[in-house]
Amino acid sequence: MSDLLTLRRPDDWHLHLRDGAAMQAVLPHTAQRFARAVIMPNLKPPVTTTTLAREYRDRIRAAVPQGLRFEPLMTLYLTDNMPTAEIDRAREAGFVVGCKLYPAGATTHSDAGVTDVARIDAVLERMAEVGLVLQVHGEVTHEAVDVFDREQRFIDDVLAPLVARHPTLRVVFEHITTRAAVEFVRGARAGVGATITPQHLLYNRNEIFRGGIRPHYYCLPILKTEDDRHALLEAATSGDPRFFLGTDSAPHARHTKENACGCAGMYSAHAGIELYALAFERAGALARLPAFAADFGADFYGLPRNEDTITLQRRPWTPPASYDFGTDRIVPMFAGESLNWSLVS
């Protein structure tokens, strides 16, 4: 088995960058590995207009380190009151690739999200007409629904009816976490795909509680069972083009994770492709990583595949206990643990 893996430069189809000094701290990790990334709009205040998306994009592009090429692909944050005219403005701008559906209260900075999908049917219809992609955080937020069942209930109550009502709308079911989600995507009509994160390929929910509460393994959607993890790994390594890379790298300052009400999210951008290489190699499917990482997402979004390459080397390295994060520190995935693949070029 070769100790080098050269692949087309990948893209990250689900990324949180935050803003300001925090964004400037984490962006280099992504830009070293990925040519493009779909940027999540859940800032405070959220990115709800094309004008705000343009301003955010300008800040991101200005922060890309010299010598690196990286293109942010922008999204708008859907609200109950978004006008359809904003969809037209987004499409005309050319740099907005889709709109993000956050059910209100589902995750970090989602309090301004959609309270009832029926309220945005006209917006979704217009998105389908102009070719923008709907990116979905797939969880219901009803108090009566168990946190581990929220994705399944979302499929049944929200996503399946939505996909049926809008038969030409392209939909990305983001950061899927369950066997039920895999089966839904496989059985869905054309134009439905899904991203899969490294943490959901590498861990099950036991990791959150191994030896005590471990807040740096807490993310939303939350880690699920070992059976779910196996289903996700099989989907990612199957060569099925409906499944592609989306890290959902979500940086939070260490003190906001390690407190009585810790934030949801795992930071993976520092090893955004190496972690996938580890998961695929463990599954005996390393040869299928390039298509998952660099081909399927671009094809789904109707964008050209990248022409340049990156190279990984089988060379162990240990991510540090923390990285700078503006004036704070951030704890990365695999902090203090050995990773057997490293980026060399």
The domain tally of the chain equals: 1
| pLDDT score of 104 | 78
Residue 43: other Cβ atoms inside 10 A: 19
How far apart are alpha carbons 345 and 159 in whole angstroms?
Answer: 40
Q: Is residue 325 part of a domain?
A: no
The answer to the question of residue 343 being in a domain is: no
pLDDT at 111: 73
Among the listed residues 88, 248, 295, 328, the single catalytic one is: 248
Summarised one tens digit per residue, pLDDT across range 172-193 is 999 999 999 999 999 999 999 9
CATH classification of the domain holding 74: 3.20.20.140
Q: Please indicate, yes or no, if residue 332 is contained in any of the structural domains.
A: no
Summarised one tens digit per residue, pLDDT across range 255-290 is 999 999 899 999 999 999 999 999 999 999 999 999
82-101 burial: b if 16+ Cβ within 10 Å, else e: beeebbeebbeeeebbbbbb
Residues 6+ apart with CB under 8 A from 260: none
Our CA dihedral for 219, 222, 223, 228, rounded to 10 degrees, sits at -140
Angle between helices 179-187 and 226-236 (to 10 degrees): 40
Q: Show the tokens assigned to 296.
A: 């399927």
Asked if residues 286 and 275 have their Cβ atoms less than 8 Å apart, the reply is: no
Residues spanned by the domain of 171:
12-307
Q: Dump pLDDT digits (tens) for 306-344.
A: 999 999 999 999 999 999 999 999 999 999 999 999 999
Q: What is the pLDDT of residue 147?
A: 94
pLDDT at 32: 98
327 is a domain residue: no
Q: Is 248 a catalytic residue?
A: yes
**Domain membership flag for residue 338:** no
pLDDT of residue 345: 80
- Give the pLDDT confidence score for residue 106 in this predicted structure: 63
Q: In which band, very low, low, confident or very high, does the pLDDT at 76 lie, cut at 50, 70 and 90?
A: very high
Residue 65, in any domain of the structure = yes
Judge whether residue 110 has pLDDT over 80: no
| pLDDT tens-digit series, residues 14-28 | 999 999 999 999 999
